[in-house]
Amino acid sequence: MSMGGVDFNLKFWKGHDWKIAEAGWEMEFNGAHGFGGDFGYSLWIGNKGGGPNFTAVVQEIKWTGEATQREEIASVKVGERQLLKYQKRTGFWFVRMNISFCK
């Protein structure tokens, strides 16, 4: 990842958490776990410099591919990383995030 106007798409299953670190960057996804969770998704992206702001078009996706609840959300800086939070609204199993870094 870099600040060069990179856009990319991510698709996550609601029940898995992910943490990836490579080349000084870190990305962490927390899924919408029921039972004690806040029923929301969070995506953290950052590096030692704090990471760039980004926006995401977020949609919930059914296992059939049906998409709903399209919403554009901007990240906020929390500590050394940027955070994007999305509140789950359906019983769909996946969430898609189309990420665009701000210049």
Note the pLDDT of residue 99. 92
Is residue 67 assigned to a domain? Answer: yes
Find residue 85's DSSP bridge partners.
42
Is residue 73 assigned to a domain? Answer: yes
Helix H segments across the chain?
Answer: none
Give me the number of domains the chain comprises: 1
Of the listed ranges 30-34, 61-65, 93-97, the least confidently predicted one is 30-34
Q: What is the pTM of this model?
A: 0.80
Q: Which DSSP string corresponds to 12-73?
A: EETT--EEEEETTEEEEEE----TTS-SEEEEEEEETT----EEEEEEEE-TTS-EEEEEEE
Is residue 35 assigned to a domain? Answer: yes
Is residue 48 assigned to a domain? Answer: yes
Note the pLDDT of residue 4. 56
Indicate the average pLDDT of the chain: 84
Kindly tell me the burial class for residue 60, based on how many C-beta atoms sit within 10 Å of its own C-beta (0-12, 13-18, 19 or more): buried
Confidence of residue 34 (pLDDT cuts 50, 70, 90): low
pLDDT at 36 over 60: no
Is residue 95 assigned to a domain? Answer: yes
Q: What is the CATH number of the domain that holds 59?
A: 2.60.40
The CA-based angle 43-49-52, given to 5 degrees, is: 50
**Structural domain containing residue 31:** 7-101
pLDDT at 23 over 70: yes
Residues 51, 24 contacting (CB under 8 angstroms): no
Is residue 86 assigned to a domain? Answer: yes
